[in-house]
Amino acid sequence: MSLSIGIDIGGTFTDFALEWQRGETLLRHTLKLPTTPHAPEQAVLDGLPQLLGGVGALPRDVTRLVHGTTLATNALIERRGARTAFLTTDGFRDVLATGNESRAAQYELFYRKPAPLVPRRWRLPVGGRIGAAGQELAPLDEAAITRHAAEMAAGGIESIAVGYLHAYAAPAQERRTRDLLGALLPGVPVSLSSEVSPEIREYERFCTTVANAYVQPIVSAYLKRLEAGLRAQGFTVAMLLMLSSGGLATVETTMRFPVRLLESGPAGGAVFAARIARDAALPCALAFDMGGTTAKLCLLEDGVPRTDRVFEVDRSYRFAKGSGMPVRVPVVELVEIGAGGGSIARVDATGRLAVGPKSAGSEPGPACFGLGGNAPTVSDANLVLGRLAAAGFAGGRMMLDAGAAEAALLSLAPERAAEDLAIAVTEVVEAGMAAAARVHAAERGAGLEDRVLVAFGGGAPLHALRLARRLGVARVIIPQGAGVGSAFGFLWANPSYEAVRGYPGSVAALDMAALEAAFLALTAEAKRVVTPALPAAAPLQIRRSAQLRYRGQGQEVTVPLPVVAPGAAMLEAAFLDAYSAQYGAPIPGVAVDLVAIAVTVSGLPEASRPPPSATSVDTLPGTTTRSLRDPDDHAPIACRVLRRDALMPDAVASGPLLVVEDATTTVIPAGCTLHVDPRGHLVIDLPAALPGMLAA
């Protein structure tokens, strides 16, 4: 028996996905446990024996173990990272505070940007200067580093970031600083901007390096504890970690660059949805991942998620773009809002109902969990409306308390009925997700009406059909394993790493031999990182790209390039094609500049897995019924309840339906048609006009 396990630690639940092949049959098993926020590894170590015991397997049978976690993201948002110092070029210590001088909300009088991770006291200036072309303009002040080391030792500094001006062009001064600090402060980790984010734009580069240093001790300690626990249980397989880019890396790589873990969970979800979209030959889709804390939406084109090179952490103003801390690493492009099952409903200062972004998490959790929480949440609303059953939640491991859910909702407006308040909470959260999806698509010039919504996560199937109706989407797919979709996505990802280097200059004046040498050096760097995560002699896929722009522009276009020696004509032609595709037309008569180059090395994509073995049926299994509340007229509706594991391929049914499984529940309103495809996915079609339950 050869088993593969994916583990996703979220803010509310820790999800486990298990796959193995028996002959021609693909078998799966899942598990969902509450996250243990004060010791995240504990839920993992508690769950693995249960997961393996459910299929009669042992730790030695596991040949692939992939993990993703929100630990680094939560440390940044909650400011629970290491006590960090930042050494930077004299005169630039306040770059972290001034940023790029833009405001996410131009007319918000009380707008506040997130405070820098390092207070001014520990932003320490160092003499020395590198020019934009990499020339040394002033020598490094080593005496200042010695003085600062004594200050940091006395101040209990646990991690150090180093970011000098133009270090991407000449990293020698940063490397010398690390050597000095290693001798003066042994055991204190040092992150260099020339290694973490070797690109232009000092604000983004400094933020990324500081974020890396800020979370490095926490992530390293966590991974060491987890590895020790796995060894104690008898696991011998080397664990891999999901990166924000959708690729996998070794523990050693992620301990060195933990900032690349920030969006690991959502990236796994994007990989999961992308595989579903490719298997279904969907030209365009919208991935919808809703868990206990947040909801994520990602655009997919031809089964490939869109990617970006920078994203923001801790958006402080209504999740608005530009209100967070920029982190410049490869990342799956998505929009994330505070709308999950644990999102707390409240009446704001204007008397309006608002939901999120604050979440009840797993401790104390929603009121219905019965763990001491008393704030009304989305999960409480779904329980009161009948969408969730008190028994059978999380595979029968939790009994939900309907009375506590009603009491929590009534705290919003005691004069209203609990069912009315529950409907209002679900409508607010669905409207917020729909608005986020529209804005995300509009910012990228994409439409939504022709897309198929691929919904997964513990909360998404509860809301997917109403969200689809609001967006004008006509078809929804709820994949097999949807409740732990990100964990399955981890299993379907490949080891991958992008090496990048700032390389500014005019395309027409570039030394192409030197540029090719730089590409080859990046290829070697990426191979060194990826090879340990792959089987011996595994084939590799190499992709090159360049960031180019018209002279005078402030933003670049990422352009894929063939793996051949570059030429000026080839670079310009590739840029013009990409620019025209994104903006509609090129700009004649303007020179083209190169900003950065990158090489991504990855394992070859795995072939599509066979569908789980099953036989077609013409009739549905025996059903029960449950009373639901119609969101429009508030009348009770008798709704059939089906067990998902009893639905075989080719089964067809019409709403209203509830399809129940261990990790989630799918709500299918009246007027919708359900069809189970050959892979066991629920394919739900919406009519052009829907009554009652689904009206937007």
- Ramachandran region, residue 551 (left: φ > 0; alpha: ψ -120 to 50; beta: rest): beta
CA distance 617 to 469: 29
**DSSP 3-state of 165:** coil
Strand, helix or coil at 239? coil
CA distance 500 to 208: 14
**What is the greatest pairwise CA distance in the chain?**
81
Q: Residue 350 and residue 322: Cα distance in Å, rounded?
A: 25
* Domain ranges for the chain: 3-76+220-261, 343-425, 497-603, 624-694
Give the start-end residues of each E strand in 507-579.
Answer: 540-550, 557-561
Distance CA 571, CA 545 (A): 10
Beta carbons of 118 and 215 less than 8 angstroms apart:
no
Give per-10-residue mean pLDDT for the chain (696 aa). Answer: 91 91 85 90 96 94 93 83 97 92 75 87 97 94 97 97 96 97 97 96 95 96 96 96 94 96 92 94 95 90 90 71 84 87 90 87 89 93 92 80 94 93 94 91 87 95 95 95 94 94 94 96 95 88 96 92 92 94 90 96 73 43 74 78 90 91 91 93 82 41
Query: What 3 state SS string does 617-652 have?
Result: CCCCCCCEEEEEECCCCCCEEEEEEEEHHHCCCCCE
In whole angstroms, how far apart are CA 429 and each of 399, 423, 426?
A: 24, 10, 5
- Region of residue 159 (left: phi > 0; alpha: psi -120 to 50; beta: else): beta
Return the axis-axis angle of helices 485-492 and 264-279, rounded to nearest 10°.
80
Radius of gyration of the chain (CA): 26
Distances (CA, A) of 85 to 118, 191, 269, 618, 645: 6, 10, 34, 66, 53
Give the whole-angstrom CA distance, residue 31 versus residue 106: 46
Two structure tokens written together for 653: 């049914």
Residue with tokens 């970690």: 241
| Phi, psi of 609, deg, nearest 5 | -75, 150
Q: Tell me how far CA of residue 61 lies from CA of 42, 315, 598, in angstroms.
A: 21, 42, 38
Describe the strand order of the beta sheet including 25-34 as a list of residue ranges: 25-34, 13-22, 3-9, 62-69, 240-242, 248-250
Nearest Cα to Cα of residue 443 among 574, 277, 320, 259: 320
Q: pTM for this structure?
A: 0.89
Alpha-carbon span 251 to 247, nearest angstrom: 13
Separation between Cα atoms, residue 273 and residue 514, nearest integer Å: 40
Q: Look at residue 395 in the predicted model and tell me its pLDDT.
A: 73
pLDDT at 215: 96
User: Per the structure block, which two tokens stand in for 489?
Assistant: 């996505």
Q: What is the DSSP letter of 390?
A: S
* 3 state SS of 688: coil
Sequence-distant (≥ 6) Cβ neighbours of residue 315 within 8 angstroms: 104, 321, 323, 324
266 preceded by a cis bond (ω within 30 of 0): no
Read out DSSP for 306-347?
Answer: -EES-EEES-TTTT-TTSSEEE-S-EE--EEES-STTEEEEE
Q: Is residue 536 classed as helix, strand or coil in its secondary structure?
A: coil
The residues, any chain, with a CB within 8 Å of residue 120's CB and separated by 6 or more, are 93, 94, 97
Tokens 């990182």, located at residue: 529
3-state SS class at 293: coil
CATH fold for the domain made of 3-76+220-261: Nucleotidyltransferase; domain 5 (3.30.420)
Under a CB-based contact definition with an 8 Å cutoff, are residues 208 and 328 in contact?
yes
For residue 211, what pLDDT is reported? Answer: 96
